[in-house]
Each structure stands twice: as C-alpha cells, then as structure tokens.
A and B are shown apart, each in its own frame.
Chain A
Amino acid sequence: MALDAYQKREFKQVGTRPNRPDGVDKVTGRAMYGADATAPGMLHAKVLRSPHAHARIVAIDTSAAEALPGVKAIVTAADFGVPEDAFLLDVQDHCMAREKALYDGHAVAAVAATSLAAAKAALNLIKVDYEVLPHVTDVDEAMKPGAPVVQAGRAFENVPAGMSENVTHHCEFGHGDLDAGFAKADHIIERSFRTAATHQGYIEPNACLASVTSDGRADLWVCTQGQFFYRTLCAAILGMEASQLRVTASEIGGGFGGKTMVYMEPVALALSKKAGRPVKLVLTRDEVFRATGPTVSSSMDVKIGMTKDGRITAAQARLRYSGGAFHCGTVDFGAQAAFAAYDLEAVQTLGWNAMTNRPKESAYRAPGAPLSIYAVESVVDELCQHFGLDPLAVRLKNAADKGTKSSYGPTFDQIGLKATLEAAKAHPHYAAPLGPNQGRGLSCGFWFNFGGNTCVSLSVNTDGTVGVTEGNPDIGGSRASISLMAAEELGIPYDKIRTIVADTSSLGYNDVTDGSRVTFAVGLATIKAARDAVQKMCSRAAKIWGIDEDAVEWVDGAAVPAGPNAGKFPPMTLAEIAAVSAETGGPICGHHEVNADGAGVSFGVHLCDIEVDPETGATKVLRYTVFQDAGKAVHPSYVEGQMQGGAVQGIGWALNEEYIYGADGKLQNPGFLDYRIPVASDLPMIDTVILEIPNPGHPYGVRGVGETGIVPPLAAISNAVSRAVGVRMTELPMSPPKLLKAIEAKG
C-alpha cells in the first residue's frame, strides 16, 4: 500500500485540543504582523491612485514631488519592464497602471519618503494628466456589444465569435440530454440571480517592508498566504533571481484567499531599489477595498426540472462572472461546482467572464462556488416549495454519492454528502418549531480542495525535542495541527515539538496557503518526514544493538526489536537515540517533498433560522448549524473555527456585504462603516457538527476544511428569508432596503 494511503488507526494525539504554539504571542500583542516590523533607515511609502474608473494616462509629472524635502524615490509604470507572460503582465499592471487606469483606486505612482507625512504631501504634488474614458462596472452591461472596452484583444480562443471584447473566457461542462430531461419534468423553474462583489475583509491591511541592497540582494517581509509565490512574482517583475530575494511571511491577520496575490509588494521593492533604503508600505483600509481583493460579481440564470416526487430530471446554469479589469478564470470553478451535490442524468453549465472597470478579482474561500451554488440551491428550494416537498428529503433523493458521475466529469469516490444530509435531518434543529415571520433554510455546499507543492523538514534535537520547518503561513492554527501530526507519528508529546514557518531561503518551494491544502498536504509531508526520521532512528538503534535494520520497529516513541528473533534489547526512546546521535553518525533529520494530490472533495450542509422584521426589512439570524465532513479533524477546535468563520462570512455576503459603484464608476463604500461585515451582535452561536469520513488519499484520512464553509450560507439564508417573507429573493445581498422593497411589492 502506498505510504500516503489512508490506514485506519487509533489516534493518541490527533483529535485532541492542545493550546496553539503562537497563542501567548498573540494574546500579549507580541506577535509580529506585516505592519509591525521596522528597519534601520526605513522610508515610508504611499501610493497615488486613479480617481477615475477608466482613463488613459497621458503624462505623469513627478518633478515637484521629487523636489519635496524628504522624498527619496518615486516610481511609476515607467520604472518597470513589460513582461512577456500575459499572466505576469496582468499582475504587474494591477500593481501599477501602465497605459490606462482601469478602475477607481488603480495605482499610478508611488513615493518613498523619510516620513509618512512627507510621502502624503508628495502625492499631492504629482501631476497626472488623464484622458477620461467611458467605463463599465456591471457584468451584464460589459457583455453587451458596444460596451466600453476595458482591455482590447484579451479574449481566449474559447470565446465564441461576436461577443463583446470584454468577454475573455468561456466554459461549458456537463453531460446528458437536456431536452429529454426537461421533457420528463412535472415542473420547471427558471430564474435569474445577481450577486454583488464582496471583499475577503481580512482585518489586517496588506503591509510589507522591502529592502533591496546595491549588490542586488533583497529581503521582503510581508503578510502573505504564500511567501514562495510572492517571491516568484516579485522576482519576475523586478528581473531578480529567486535566490537573491528572500521573502519572510509575517504573522498574517487574515487572508481567506485575498493574500494569495501581490498588490504593492513589487512597488515597495522598486522604491527600495531606487532609494537605496528599506521601504515600508502599509495600505489603508480605503486602499484595501479599492485596490485589493474582491470576489467576482455575477449574474446567473438557472433552470431545473423536477418530477412531482422530487427527482431532478435536468438542470442548466448560465453564469456570467466579472473578475474586474483583467482576465479571470473563476467562472470555471463556479460552473464545475454548481451542481456537484446532485446525481444528474442531464446537466449543463455555461460560463463567461467579462472584464469591468473594477479591481482584479482575488480568490476568496472556494472561489466562484458560493455564487453558482446559491443560484442552484435557491431554485431547488423553490421547486420543493412548489411540490410541497421536504427540502432535505429532496436533496437526499438526488444526492451525489460514491459512483455518481459528477456534473463536472469525474466519477465520485468516497464522499460524505449523504452522511452530512442525514446528520442534518437527524439534528434537533431541523425539527424545532418556527414563529411568525421566521423561516428555515438549508443548502448544500461543495469544494474541490487540493494538495500541491509542499516541503517539510523535521529535525530531531539532541535533547529529545523536535523542530518542524514548514513553508505555509499559519492563518488559523495550522502550526498546532502540524505539531499534532508530528507528535502522533513520532510518538512523543505535542509539547516537545515546535513548528515554524520558514522563509523562502530556508526551505524548498511551497504552494500558497489556499485550496484548503495545509492540514492535508503539509500534514501529509509532515507525517512522511517523521517516518523518514523514524527510519533513521531505527537504523541507529540497529547499529547500536548490532542487529539488522529491518529487525527494528518504532513503537510509542521508541525503537524496539521486531519480534523474538531480533534479539532482546530494552526499547530506545527518541530522546535516547537523539542524545547519542553525534556518536552514531551525526544529526538526525527527516524531510519530505511532494506535489500532493488526492485532497478529496468536501461537502457541507448548513441549516439556518431567520426572522425578518416586515416593517423594516431587517433580518436576524436566530439559529445556525453547520454540518461538514472533515475526513479527520486533527485539532477539532480549529476545524470548528473554520466552519464557523466560513459560515459567518457567507452570512455577511448574503445579508449586507457588497461593492457599491456609483454612476461615476467609483466605489462608494470603501470602509468598514459602509461595507458592513457581520459584528458580534448580529449573530447567534454557530453550532457545528463535524463528520469524519476518512479521505482515502491521506494517511490519517484528513480532508481540507477551510473553504467549503463559505459556500452554503448564501442559499441557506436566502431560502430562509424567502420562506419567511413569502417572496423568492434572487439578489444578494438582501440588505434591509432591498428586502423591504420585495415585501412591499408582494403587497
């Protein structure tokens, strides 16, 4: 059996809830985040941003700003090359506008000065000559022929001829005969939906400290989900060799996908290079909203046919996503995920991406999936209402299972959807009574998950303790989970292990902390690195005992002779072997490098009760329960935390969060006052039910859990609200004014 395949076992430490290693630092204010570092001679940088949604940059005059005392460097697009690679060029253009400013807030110049005050004053002295162009911020408008063209000539070969130049990408998935399927239905519902773009809303604004020296070496301290990927991008944009740029990930104050992409880091490096001094660049919240992050905005049509006993006969979705002013493939994921929870004979999803004058989309937990699944789950719910069927029973009846040909192609292996639905059905929440103006909603959710490039190095110290070096920033307690898995495998107490996150010069390449990959892939590499060390320790013990290496095995943290023929020796513990490692051949380390696959897809079901105030349109979430398959919950507290955090982000998306653009194409709410994320008083406790259906592709059965949790809330809330007010809601967010309008229109 392959080493990475799941093997049933009794866990001793995995599944417990020890304190996290970075806990004390974080509750005492000692933890160092992106904006907390300083360097000798450090300059402060500020970015000048376009006040226009779409404008040609005719000329930039920086002379007056350069003359200001304290100003040490100014950069514009002219300080960067023009990368050949289209993706890299987009990344760079997003960091610094080249010929056109493509959205309100697009960077056009940056200043480094001896004080923040001087840098701000210098921004006012930079003269930019703009030729304002017509703009488009709405996805449906952008797809119309004759819409203002955001960027010309960017369409992939897969875009059908005759579409607006803004359409960059088209996709289609599915199987079966749609017409025949719809013909079999007793009722067909077709509806259109719209969702607003939202922001990841991490509380720590993007921040970095760049230092480039005259010999061409550079250091970058930055809050990022992936120091290695940032190195790749920054080195390529600045024309540096990867070995000369060391990127260190600070503690990270939230990311959720939003810190998987560079926004101003190459600019800080360019400023530092030009000024010959370290440069710190911290975005303001306003800049975070205007120039980083958001998700796609969408417009979607879903058509589903059902028999009167609740069997879906055919399903179709048309998804129009906009990932801002650049190329964006997120609609692929939305289209593949849309019907993943269902076992369907005939299904088709079509997707298009259109450019608009908005900032470049960044990943946000299960990118693309919450929207399409929101639309699908809304129509399923409405069909249940139409036939008077129980929505859980209908989902169970149509649920994908092992052996189902998925709506995106592959046949599912072991999946936890049915078990998750059964758990929801059996839960007291599902049977609890509802009061007036209250509604209950539910939704399934799905995400692919993946593994990816991962290196782990593990060192056995001579005092019997162990250091684990991994390369993925710890967003939500992953160091604790990694330590637990190392402890489990080595058979030593959790407290004897310290896991750290390495900089890019200390370890091989690691993919970004995304795709719910860390506990799965880094966990897998940690287990294998531990097994590598164990093998070496067994061989040392064998040498000491003078027996064959194969005659030694590892039991409960010690080498023991395997079987009676191996000879009689008392067990040698890890500490005992480590203590004499110098004498027996030198330091003992284990390591593992892999591009992990087999992450295993993840399903979740959310159940929620909502009350709507018919006078104001305000909603209150009364009760919320999350059911999700974690494969194996390594540190259950942080698994619950992922499920609760994802659910609440989804609740925010459903009820309040949105990018609001004015007719002038400017973002009208770039702050936490007007972009309202859920606060403590908006919410009830978020109950969680963790299911553990082992992932066959991981030695402990672990599945990623980070992303699926944001998928179901959109429809769960919308279904609850629709049932509470008796009107089918088809647009997110369902903010009080919109909801009130819908209630009043119903009369």
Chain B
Amino acid sequence: MKTIQVSTTINGDPAEFICTPDETLLDVLRNRLGLTGSKEGCGTGDCGACSVTVNGRLVCSCLVLGAEAEGAEISTIEGMAEGETLHPLQRAFIEHAALQCGVCTPGILVAAKSLLEKNPDPTDEELRYWLAGNLCRCTGYDKIIRAVQVAAAEMRGA
C-alpha cells in the first residue's frame, strides 16, 4: 500500500510521519512515533482509552486516520505535564487514588482536561456524562469523579 507523508504538531512540537491510508492515528502515535501513552482498549471507539485532542477537539484516535492529521495540532497524554510539573488533574489522580491499573487513565485525563477547558465548573452529572465514553473497569468511577472535581476547583483558584 502506498504511504502518505503527513506533517503535524504533536504536543506543541512539529512532527512528520508516513502512514498507510488505512492506518489509524492511534497506530501512528503508538507504532510510528513511540507515543504509547495512548492505549488501545477496543479499536472501535467504545472505550476512550485512546483519547487525544485534534485541533482542540476530543476524539478517539482509533477512529481517526493518520492521514487526517495533516496540518493538525494534536495533544496526547505525553504532553499534559509541563516538564516536571504535573497538570493539576494528574496530581489529583495520584493523590486521590483515581487509578488502580491505570490503563484507562491517559484517556480519562485527556478527556477531563478537554471538558474543564470548556466548562471549568461542571456538576458531577455533567462530568459523568462527559466521561461516559471512557471505560474504567477498576475504580467504579467514584474516585475519578472526585479527583476531577478537586482538580477543577484548584484550576478555578477556588
């Protein structure tokens, strides 16, 4: 299959890759760029473990083609902390035990960050519906909801 050359920005840095026309963005990130922080839980858009943002929009990267990323700005879990400084969400997840196995965590963090950018003060209900596309089998979501609210409060300066 003929490959396509793609130029993008990933986590603020320019990135170039080639991919086949049928290759997903998730495969490109994981297999071509070594960004294995995004996980594949299903490959069909049902689990959210592969969540990234493309031009600020939250997407399942398993449902996006690598070729579609041409010219786009992509953010993944690897770009969430600034150097040594963890994002408040990342810190809250550790401090409030919002992860057990942690495989859903990258996707949930990316999704939660994307919500808080639009809605800095979500109700629990809004948060639960926003995260309904991110499956977690370990925690029962309780500590995830609490951790996101703690981080949201901190980010609002409350």
Residues in A lying within 8 Å of B, measured CB to CB: 17, 19-20, 22-24, 26-33, 35-36, 117, 200-205, 251-256, 282, 284-285, 475-477, 637-638, 640-641, 644-645, 647-649, 671-673, 677-683, 685-686
Contact = CB atoms under 8 A, between A and B. Distances in A.
A475 B41 contact: no
Interface of B: 1, 20, 30, 35-44, 46-47, 49, 76-78, 80-81, 86, 90, 93-97, 99-106, 109, 125, 127-129, 131-146
Contacts of B77: 27-29
A97 to B, nearest CB: 25
In the complex, the 4 A-B pairs of residues with the closest C-beta atoms, listed nearest first: A29-B37, A253-B103, A26-B102, A648-B140
A640 B141 CA distance: 12
B7 to A, nearest CB: 23
A673 B140 CA distance: 18
Contact of B138 (A28, A33, A645, A680): A645
A475 B100 CA distance: 6
Contacts of A33: 36, 39, 103
A677 B135 contact: yes
Contacts of B38: 29
Nearest to B20: A117
Contacts of A254: 100-101, 103, 137-138
Given A29-B77, A680-B132, A203 B49 contact: yes
Q: Taking each of A27, A641, A645, A682, which has the highest tally of chain B beta carbons within 10 Å of its own beta carbon?
A: A27
Nearest to B143: A641
A683 B145 CA distance: 11
A23 B99 contact: yes
Contacts of A637: 96-97, 143
For the residues of B in contact with A, the DSSP-based class is loop
B83 to A, nearest CB: 11
Contacts of B37: 28-30
Contacts, number: 183
Contacts of A19: 94-95
Contacts of B30: 35-36
Given A637-B96, A680-B127, A252 B101 contact: yes
Contacts of B125: 681
B41 A20 contact: no
A429 to B, nearest CB: 15
Contact of B141 (A200, A284, A683): A683
B145 A203 contact: no
Nearest to A255: B101
A29 to B, nearest CB: 2
A335 B109 CA distance: 42
Contacts of A205: 40-41
A679 B127 CA distance: 12
Contacts of A30: 37
Contacts of A255: 101
B86 A27 contact: yes
Among A117, A204, A647, which residue has the most Cβ atoms of chain B within 10 A? A204
Nearest to B46: A672
A672 B135 contact: yes
16 contacts: A26-B102, A27-B102, A33-B103, A35-B36, A203-B39, A203-B101, A203-B137, A205-B40, A285-B46, A476-B101, A640-B143, A645-B100, A648-B140, A679-B132, A680-B141, A682-B132
Nearest to A473: B101
B44 A22 contact: no
B122 to A, nearest CB: 12
A644 B94 contact: no
Nearest to B146: A685
A20 to B, nearest CB: 7
Given A204-B41, A285-B43, A29 B76 contact: yes
Contacts of B142: 640, 644, 683, 685-686
Contacts of A203: 39, 41, 47, 49, 101, 103-104, 135-137
Contacts of B39: 33, 35, 203-204, 253
Nearest to B126: A681
B116 to A, nearest CB: 15
Contacts of B20: 117
A672 B103 contact: no
Given A285-B47, A672-B42, 9 more contacts: A27-B90, A27-B99, A28-B80, A33-B103, A35-B40, A251-B101, A252-B101, A671-B44, A680-B127
